[in-house]
Structure 1
Amino acid sequence: MARLKTGDKPADIRRAAVDVVVEVGSSAASINTIAKRAGLSVGTVYRYHDSKDAVLRSVFLEIKRDVHHLLMSAAEAQSTSQDKLRAMWFALLDFAHNHPQDFAFAEVILNTSVLLPEEDAIIQEMAQDIGQIIEAAITDGTLRPANVRAINAVLSAPALRLGRQTAMSGVAPDPDFAEEIFDLCWRGVAA
């Protein structure tokens, strides 16, 4: 008689990969450590992924999709360009607070070169969605005319830094402090 499948093995692998990479780094992570942390056999992990890098890429893309969906949903709920960009900025901080391990994992993997060209293309498409919101804000006069990537960097770098601090400490930034930082960034790019 065949054994019944139990649990959500892909989710178990994701959680284990995130925990292991955040704990020991991507270089020291292995299929063995991920399988052990997930409570699965190495063979089970290999049924879902061909290699450690495949696990890391898959989990990274899942997290990036989660963040992207959150940012786009936050933007879509707003009517003005300024409100869209502000909502996205604070949605990133909320993600870091609510999913600190995922945020930290993405930061670690972002600094590696595990992505294949087709996976990098997916990340670039997500960046283009954000770029379109910035371009619309330039077009409607909300933002000063400038390079879209430069505006993105000015707005996102402080949010990412606060996100890192939030993920590491487990404590959301003081709302007044976060508002002040956003306001300072905004003044640098607003028309």
Structure 2
Amino acid sequence: MAKRKTGDKLGDIRAATIAEVVVSGSSAASVNAIAKRAGLAVGTIYRYYDSKDQLLRATYMAIKGEIHQSMIDAADNVTDSKAKVQSMWFANLHFAHKEPKSFLFAELIVNDTILTLEDREKIAQMAHDIRTVIETAISDGVIRDITLDSIMTVLSAPVMQLGRATALSGEAPDPARSAEIFSLCWRAIEA
């Protein structure tokens, strides 16, 4: 394949990495296949990344950061605690619809052993940001005073399931069904 000399090489590499992992899985995805998919020489990828693991890590961390930022931005746009939690929940679902391959990529990599201690610390900080919103809702008397892990499970499992279904179907989630599922989650944790 001919090498391109212009364009957004990092964007092309990212898009190709996501597409290859979603189709082949992280273990089977190779730098050669990613390079071919991106229309670049293998050496071009190695100019930016030392290894396949570093490429996968960087792509995962970028996506994880985007999902997190969309949730935090959504929470920052409302004032009351319930609205913050609800906004974050729907932001996650919106990301799955807007960026289905990225959402699926993050799902595939989340349990991978390629993440470094530094990556895990960044992810822990993101989780802390989300937990802070929930702790505030507990303090405000909006959410029951139960363990944060229980609350996180009740909120995250359904939205991840819904997000996965949305990403795989390519169709926008049904608003009424999404609202109904959030309502069920909310009733389980509300004060």
TM over 0.5: yes
The aligned residue for residue 77 of structure 1 is 77
Letter in 2 for 1:44: T
CA displacement at 1:42 relative to structure 2: 0.7
Letter in 1 for 2:186: W
Unaligned runs of 5+ residues in structure 1 are none
The aligned residue for residue 103 of structure 2 is 103
**Structure 2 matches for 1:11-160, cutoff 5 A?**
11-160=11-160
Letter in 2 for 1:153: T
Whether the 8 Å contact between 1:131 and 1:149 is mirrored in structure 2 is: no
Q: Hey, what's the Cα distance between the residues in 2 that align with 1:149 and 1:172?
A: 29
Q: Hey, what's the Cα distance between the residues in 2 that align with 1:16 and 1:174?
A: 29
**CA RMSD of the aligned region, Å?**
1.0
Q: Hey, what's the Cα distance between the residues in 1 that align with 2:108 and 2:122?
A: 18
Deviations 1:80-133 (A, max 9, x none): 000000011111111000100000000000121110111111011000000000
Letter in 1 for 2:128: Q
Q: Hey, what's the Cα distance between the residues in 1 that align with 2:26 and 2:186?
A: 35
Letter in 1 for 2:26: S
Letter in 1 for 2:55: V
Letter in 2 for 1:22: V
Letter in 2 for 1:139: S
Taking structure 2 as the reference length, the TM-score comes to 0.96
CA displacement at 1:79 relative to structure 2: 0.5
**What is the count of residue pairs matched by the alignment?**
188
Letter in 2 for 1:41: A
Question: Aligned with 1:154: secondary structure?
Answer: helix
Letter in 1 for 2:97: H
Letter in 2 for 1:113: T
Taking structure 1 as the reference length, the TM-score comes to 0.96
Structure 1 residue ranges (4+ consecutive) displaced by more than 4 angstroms after TM superposition: none
Q: Hey, what's the Cα distance between the residues in 2 that align with 1:32 and 1:40?
A: 9
CA displacement at 1:5 relative to structure 2: 5.2
Deviations 1:44-83 (A, max 9, x none): 1001001111000000000011101100000000110000
Letter in 2 for 1:156: S
| Identity score, percent | 52
2:170 pairs with 1:170: yes
